[in-house]
Amino acid sequence: MKTRILGTNGPEVSALGLGCMGLSFGYGPATDTADAIALIRAAHDRGVTFFDTAEAYGATNEELLGDAVAAFRSDVVLATKFGFKGGGPAGGMDSSPARIREVTEQSLRRLKTDYIDILYQHRVDPNVPIEDVAGTVRDLIAEGKVRHFGLSEAGVETIRRAHAVQPVAALQSEYSMFTRDVEAEILPVLEELGIGFVPFSPLGKGFLTGKIDAATTFGDGDIRSTLPRFQDEARAANAKLVALIGEIAACKTATPAQVALAWLLAQKPWIVPIPGTTKLHRLEENIGGADVALMPEDLQTLAETLAKQPVVGARYNAQMMKAVGK
């Protein structure tokens, strides 16, 4: 797989990474640990060198990732995140310097590593100045425990203030043909400052695969059941967009998911999507997206498609939106 550099000073990684959240959090029952480890190793065998986890996904998520990459740790880039009281979103925000240090030590143990390649603030904490957050990570970098600083779902002001204290290597936020909020203000600032961008949910939480329609049901523990754009009427409307993307995919002898990932890769050379999956055949399909070449005329057709078929429904519910874009 081709590689990309995250921003000006970030690490070199595979053009597509692997988001590990869904292996144990957010989309229903956890994947069997042995199967999850096998999937991560299969991703590495196919050229993936960038793996994303977080304290908030549960200790198991970091532990299985650490076990999976132990034999080739120096060949991969591991990213994890801090930012919540007690380790989960339900506890509220906590990016106090003491908490950052505590989480870092826990993550190092669970990942079975001496250093974290990218340490992200998972969500902006309104009660802790971002300068204190950046300064703490700066100190961890000086101590050799962390190599790069990242932010997630941060707004322009926060990005600028953090970057002034400790250069930000990457911002991780949602971005896809299904969610394009970052285009107006965030991407220009990242380009200006030389910060890489890591889109999570690059397949619209599965919607852009073409496998979700008005008849789809979501099991217990699946966050999509609470999201406005996954409710019945919104799903029916949004299926029309996926059908149009599918027409373009057919012309490229590709799948809608592969076109969605290729579209992201075509936006900027410092964008590295991290699609997640629990299935080997989906992993291989996603990786194939890095080989789909979209020509200018393809991108123009997609732009026209997105303009005439806007996405219906907000991406998060009201409670979740409170933690975004500060």
Q: Which residues are part of the catalytic machinery?
A: 57
Beta bridge partners of 151: 121, 171
Beta bridge partners of 119: 80, 149
Q: Which amino acid makes up residue 36? A: A
Contacts for 142 with CB less than 8 Å, ≥ 6 apart = none
> What sign does the CA torsion over 268, 301, 177, 216 have?
negative
Strands (E), 130-178: 146-152, 168-174
Give dist(CA 115, CA 5) in Å, integer.
19
CB atoms near residue 300 (< 10 Å): 11
Give dist(CA 123, CA 132) in Å, integer.
14
Q: By the 8 A CB rule, do 209 and 177 touch?
A: no
Q: Which amino acid makes up residue 303? A: A
Measured distance between the N- and C-terminal CA atoms of the chain, rounded to whole angstroms? 35
